[in-house]
Amino acid sequence: MNMLYTQLGRSGLSVSALCLGTMNFGPHTEEADAHKIMDQAHEAGLNFFDTANAYGGNDRRGWTEEIIGRWIAQGGGRRERTVLATKVYGNMTDWPNDSKLSALNIRRALDASLKRLQTDHIDLYQFHHVDRDTPWDEIWQAVDVAIQQGKILYAGSSNFAGWHIASAQEAAARRPVTGLVSEQSIYNLMERSVEREVIPAAQHYGLGLLPWSPLHGGLLGGVLQKQHDGVRRVEGRAAEALDQHHDAIAAFEAFAAGLGHAPGDVALAWLLHQPAVTAPIIGPRTASQLTAGLRALEISLDEAALATLDKIFPGPKTAPEDYAW
């Protein structure tokens, strides 16, 4: 399979059209299996890996970065061939200043991530959430220092509203510095809220969109057929969402079957056809799930197919037309 590559937003950085999410590494995927998945990703040409300092669970925050770090330490070009992205914001301890985006926490959290990941720099350092208590001038000053020290190359955001992106970029322009090159948001056929304001802001400021939860917690991965086959049980919020959207999900699974593809592959392929998207984030627990995710790269959806998917899962209009004239 020939991997597709694209630019990360307006930057000159080339990344694979799928991004390997690592949140399952540790809590759900054993370290040896995680290492195999990362090696398999490289073999497929996938060069873009995403993690976060808080991944690993409440009792073992940092665990996922440590697993990746031990993989990197094996050498063999693993670090050199990887565009490595991690995040900062979440609570690492109960002490003050061990969370959010103060200059102090950015400095400490970055050094801790570098140590766990066993590398001297992060390619894409992302703000995992907007910090309403820290001014952007302080954040960008801390980022400037880290860039000058060679510890990070690019900055990105995650879970930002459209006006947060605008605030960040306008503050960056005043310095002037590059600012954000990417935004990581939940985005899939069932959850299209970002089309209202986040995507227009990202496109205006030249940010690449990195969708997380591309299968909406598995509800777009053939959940009804899996229930029928007895290979999956849906509980809690997922069950409520399934009940609410049962007819649309059933129509989607039937449409995917008519195309001759698995529902999850079609859902990923739909994201790859969206102009704002740089790379959906896939989070495989197993090597077979990674193989399944790569199949989406081979699917081409024509205008009629895209129109049908829009009818099954209609999205919002761009603001303000979505709610006003």
Residue numbers annotated as active site: 55
Quickly count: other Cβ atoms within 10 Å of residue 114's Cβ: 18
The β-bridge relationship of strands 5-7 and 14-16 is antiparallel
- Distance, in Å, from the CA atom of 63 to the CA atom of 73, rounded to the nearest integer, reads 15
Q: Kindly state the tokens that stand for 221.
A: 């991965």
> What are the tokens at 227?
């229930």
Residues near 111 by Cβ (< 8 Å), separated by ≥ 6?
151
135 preceded by a cis bond (ω within 30 of 0): no
Structure token pair of residue 28: 């759900």
Task: Specify whether the CB–CB gap between 193 and 213 falls below 8 A.
Answer: no
What residue type is 235 in one-letter code?
E
Residue 274 backbone zone (phi > 0: left; psi -120 to 50: alpha; other: beta): beta
Helix ranges (DSSP H) in the chain:
31-43, 63-72, 103-117, 136-148, 162-174, 198-205, 223-229, 236-244, 246-259, 263-272, 287-294, 303-312
Burial label, 286 (beta-carbon count in 10 A; 0-12, 13-18, 19+): middle
Calpha distance 68→321 (Å, rounded): 44
Separation in Å, CA 198 to CA 50, 90, 120, 158, 207:
20, 22, 32, 11, 10
For the chain, the straight-line distance linking the first and the last C-alpha, in angstroms and rounded, comes to 47
Residue 34 CA to its chain's centroid (Å): 18
